[in-house]
Structure 1
Amino acid sequence: MSKSDFPPEEFADRLARLRQAMSAAALDWLLVFHPVSIHWLTGSDAKSYQAFQCLIVPVAPAPTVMFTRRSEEAEFHDDALVGTLATWGGPDPEDPLAAFERLVGRLGLHEGRVGMEVPAYYLHPHHYLKIKALLGRALVGEPSQLVHDLKLRKSPREIAFIRTAAAIADRTVETLAGALRPGRSELEVAAEIFHTMLAAGGGQPATPLNLVSGPRAAFSHGAPTERRLCLGDTGNAEYCVPYRRYSVTIGRQFSIGPPSPRLRALHDVVRRAGDAAIAAIRPGVAATVPHEAARAIIAEAGLDAARVHLTGYGVAPAFPPATAEPVQLFAGSPYRLDTGMVLSVCPPVFITAERLGVRLVDNVLVTDTGAERLCTAARDLIVV
C-alpha cells in the first residue's frame, strides 16, 4: 500500500476523525507507534517497524511529524502522506531516543497533554520507559486503541481491497486441494499456496502459514515441515491472504484417503459452530453473542474443553506478526458489532490426546442486515 491507494480526501477524513477523538480525550498530542495505525493515517508500507519510529499527531490543524530511521527516508517521502519527516541514524550509529528527545523539545510536547500508543509488539520496553521519563507529567494517558477503534468500520475502497483479497484466498483453496497427495511434503504444498497468492496479486502475508498433518494434526499453529503426506493422514491449513495490506484469513481441513468417522463428526461440529456464529452476526449485537452461539454447539458435542482460542476477530489491514484488530469474538469482549466491520470466524477444536484438530476459517463483512461471507470456497472436508 501507499498514499496512492486512497484519495487524499480519505486520508484527510481519517486524520480529522482522529483529531476529534483526541479532542474528546483532552489530548494535545498523540504518539503513534503501531505500523497499522501509521499505515492507516499516512499510507506508509515501510518496514520501519523493525526499529524505533513514531508518528506525532497534533490535535491542532498543524502538520503531523513522522520520526523514522534514515534508511526509510525515500520510501516515506514518495509513498506516505506526512506533514514533516524527521529521521535518525545514517552512516553512523545514533541513539534514536536521544534524537527523539530533541524533536520533542522542538515541538514543545512538554507543554501539552500527550497520549501514547503502547502496542504489543512494536515499542521496546526500554524505549517505553525512556519516553515516560522524558515526557513526565505531560504524558496523561495510553489510549492504545484510539486509532484502531476508528478504523474498525471499513470504507467502500477498503472493502473493495478486502474483496480482492477474498477472491485470491478462494484461488489458494483450489490450489491447496490440488496440491495434496501422498508423498508430497508440507513445505511443497505451502510453496504452491504462496505461488498462487503472489502470482494472483496478493502481498506477503503478515503471519506465517500454518499447515500440519498426520501426528502433528493437533498443532493449532504449526508451520509446514519436510514431513511427507501419507495415506490416512488428516491435517489443516490456515493462513492470511493480503491485498495491499488488507487481509483475510482462510482455513480448511483435509484428509488423505477416506476420513475416519471421528474426523467427520468433529468437522461437522466445527462447521455448525461457524455457521451459528455467522448467523448471529449483525449490527448492534455484542461481540460475545456470535461467540456464545458457536460455543453452545461445541459444548453440546462435549468438546468445550477443546476450544483452544477465540471464536473470531477483526481483520485488515495487517503488519507482521499479527493480523487481528481489537474487536474479538470472545467471552468478555467489550465491543459491539457494526456495519462495515470485517471479521474472521474460526471456532476451532483441537484435542491433544487424540493428535487431532479441526479448523475452518472464513471471513464475513457485517452488513445492515447480517453477515456476508466474503470467500466462496467450499467449506467441505477436502478428501484426496
Structure 2
Amino acid sequence: MELPFTLPTYDERLRRVRARMTAQGLDGLVVTMPDVVNWLTGVSSVGYLWPQALVIDSGDGEPEYVTRTTEEPGVHMLSWLRSPRVYDIATQDPIEVIAETVRKHGLDQATVGVELEAFTLLPGNWDRLRALLPGVRWVDASHLVPEERLVKSAAEIAYQRQAAEMADHAMEKVFAAIRPGVSETALAGIASQALGEAGSEFAAIPPMVVSGERSALVHAMASRRTLSRGDVVCIEFAGVVHRYHAVLMRTAVVGRPSPRVQEVADCVERATEAAIAACGPGAPAPAPDDACNAVLGELDLVRRRCHRIGYSLGVAYPPGWLEPMTLVAGDEHVLAPGMSFTVEPNLHLPDEGFGIKMGDTVLCTPDGARSFSRLPHNLHIAD
C-alpha cells in the first residue's frame, strides 16, 4: 500500500465520520466526491468520471467502495480497502451495483446521507438510485465529511507547507520569465514545469495566466497572447502534495507600472495583509473580509471585488479546490487553529484595462494567522 498517512489515522477519520452520522440521525452514508473518498480511504484516481460510491454503514466494519474494474489495481495499491466492489462498465449498470451494495449493508429501509451537491452524482443517476431504493429516506449530507476536514492535523499542515514551497518556487520561475514577447501559455507552461520539478502533483485547476486587458478576466485560462511593455500579468496556481493544495496568486507588470496600477496594487497589498491579520483564532469567518474592505474602501475599490475573500481548502481534485467554509458574511464558522484557507482580495477593473490578483494560503495558529508563502504581497516589477 502507498498511503500518505498511517492506518490508525484512517481508522480515526472513519470513527469521527460515523460519530457525525450518528449525531445527524443517519444509519448510513453514500459518498461519491473524489476528495471525500481519498480522505477516508487513500483512493486516488481520475476514475470518478464514471459512477463510484463509498458506502458506509453505522457498524465498525470496512466501508464498501464501488468502482470500475479499471480502478481495482489502484484501489489495492493506493488505499487501505481490502474488498472493493468492482463492476464491468461494458456489461453492468453501475447504479444498479451501487443500489445492490446499499441493500447488502442493510440500508435499503434506512436513513442514508448522500452528497446532493456532488458533481459526481448526475441528476439522471440520482433519479435512478432513488427509484431502485424506494425504501431509503435520503438526507443531504454534502458537507458531513468536508466539515470534519476543516481543522487540519500536523501531518496535513506539513503537506500544505511543502505544497506552498513548491508554489513559491514556481512563481519565482514565472517572474523570471516575464518579458515582452513571451506568451501567456508559455508562462503557464513554465509554472507547470517548475511545479513538476519541485515534486508537485497535478492540481485541481491548471495554472492561470492572463495579461493586458485580459488580466481583468479573473478565471480565464492562458491564451496565446504575447506580453508587451506596460502589461499587467495575473498568475494563479497551486502546489500539491498528497492532494493537499496550497494556492498562490500574484500580479506582475512588464516594465514600469502606470501610476493607477501602482496605486491599486499598493492598496491591495495593504488589504491582503489586513485580511490575514484578521484571521486569528476565535475570529468569525467574515472578519478578514471586513478588514479587507476597510482598506479597499479608501480608494472605492470594494465594488471592484470579484469574489469572496477566501475559502477553506485541503484535499482536492479537478474541477475545483474549495472546502465548505467561506470567509463571507453569513458564514457561521469560527476560525480555529489548524484551519487553512485562502485570502485573495482580487479585483477586476475591465473599464480601466487591468485586474489584480493577490492571494495566499493561510494557516490559523494559536498565535494568529500565518501565510504559507514567503513571497511579498507587492506588485512584482519585471523590468
Q: Is the 8 A contact 2:109 2:135 kept in 1?
A: no
Q: AA paired with 2:72?
A: E
Gaps of 5+ in 2: none
Find the partner of 1:192 among 184, 190, 193.
190
1:326 is aligned to: 324
2:165 is aligned to: 167
Counterparts of 1:166 and 1:138 in 2: how far apart (Å)?
44
1:95 is aligned to: 93
Q: Normalising to structure 1: TM-score of the pair?
A: 0.96
Q: Secondary structure at the match of 2:348?
A: strand
Post-superposition Cα deviations, 1:337-366, rounded to whole Å, max 9, x if no partner, equal 111011111011111211210111111111
Deviation at 1:283, TM superposition (A): 1.6
Question: Which runs of structure 2 are paired with 1:61-80 in the superposition (5 Å)?
Answer: 61-80=60-79
Q: Is the 8 A contact 2:110 2:135 kept in 1?
A: no
Q: Is the 8 A contact 1:169 1:241 kept in 2?
A: yes
1:229 is aligned to: 227
Question: Which runs of structure 2 are paired with 1:1-384 in the superposition (5 Å)?
Answer: 3-90=2-89, 92-384=90-382
Deviation at 1:315, TM superposition (A): 1.3
Q: Normalising to structure 2: TM-score of the pair?
A: 0.96
Q: Is the 8 A contact 2:99 2:133 kept in 1?
A: no
Counterparts of 1:301 and 1:283 in 2: how far apart (Å)?
29
Deviation at 1:93, TM superposition (A): 4.1
Post-superposition Cα deviations, 1:232-257, rounded to whole Å, max 9, x if no partner, equal 21121011221121111111111111
Q: Is the 8 A contact 2:360 2:371 kept in 1?
A: yes
Q: Secondary structure at the match of 2:188?
A: helix
Counterparts of 1:150 and 1:83 in 2: how far apart (Å)?
24
Q: AA paired with 1:152?
A: L
Counterparts of 2:180 and 2:192 in 1: how far apart (Å)?
20
Post-superposition Cα deviations, 1:48-90, rounded to whole Å, max 9, x if no partner, equal 2111000001111122100011110110012112253101125
Deviation at 1:224, TM superposition (A): 0.9
Post-superposition Cα deviations, 1:208-245, rounded to whole Å, max 9, x if no partner, equal 22111112121111111111111121121011221121
Counterparts of 1:213 and 1:106 in 2: how far apart (Å)?
55
Q: AA paired with 1:8?
A: L
Q: AA paired with 2:17?
A: L
Post-superposition Cα deviations, 1:126-170, rounded to whole Å, max 9, x if no partner, equal 111222333334224111100000011111111111110011111
CA RMSD of aligned residues (A): 1.4
Counterparts of 2:198 and 2:98 in 1: how far apart (Å)?
41
Q: Secondary structure at the match of 1:105?
A: helix
Q: Is the 8 A contact 1:132 1:139 kept in 2?
A: no
Counterparts of 1:99 and 1:173 in 2: how far apart (Å)?
46
Q: Is the 8 A contact 1:186 1:211 kept in 2?
A: yes
Indicate the larger mover: 47-56 or 116-125.
116-125
Q: Is the 8 A contact 2:340 2:361 kept in 1?
A: yes
Q: Secondary structure at the match of 1:238?
A: strand
Indicate the larger mover: 372-381 or 246-255.
372-381
Post-superposition Cα deviations, 1:241-286, rounded to whole Å, max 9, x if no partner, equal 2112111111111111110010011111111111111111112221
Indicate the larger mover: 2-11 or 164-173.
2-11
Q: Secondary structure at the match of 1:328?
A: coil
Q: Is the 8 A contact 1:64 1:83 kept in 2?
A: no
Counterparts of 2:322 and 2:18 in 1: how far apart (Å)?
24
With over 3 angstroms needed to count, the CA separation of the structure-2 counterparts of 1:345 and 1:147, relative to structure 1, is same
Q: Is the 8 A contact 2:191 2:207 kept in 1?
A: no
Deviation at 1:121, TM superposition (A): 1.8
Identity score, percent: 33
Q: Secondary structure at the match of 2:204?
A: coil
Post-superposition Cα deviations, 1:286-318, rounded to whole Å, max 9, x if no partner, equal 101111111222223212211110001111111
Post-superposition Cα deviations, 1:25-50, rounded to whole Å, max 9, x if no partner, equal 11111001111110000011111211
Counterparts of 1:148 and 1:159 in 2: how far apart (Å)?
16
Q: Is the 8 A contact 1:27 1:113 kept in 2?
A: yes
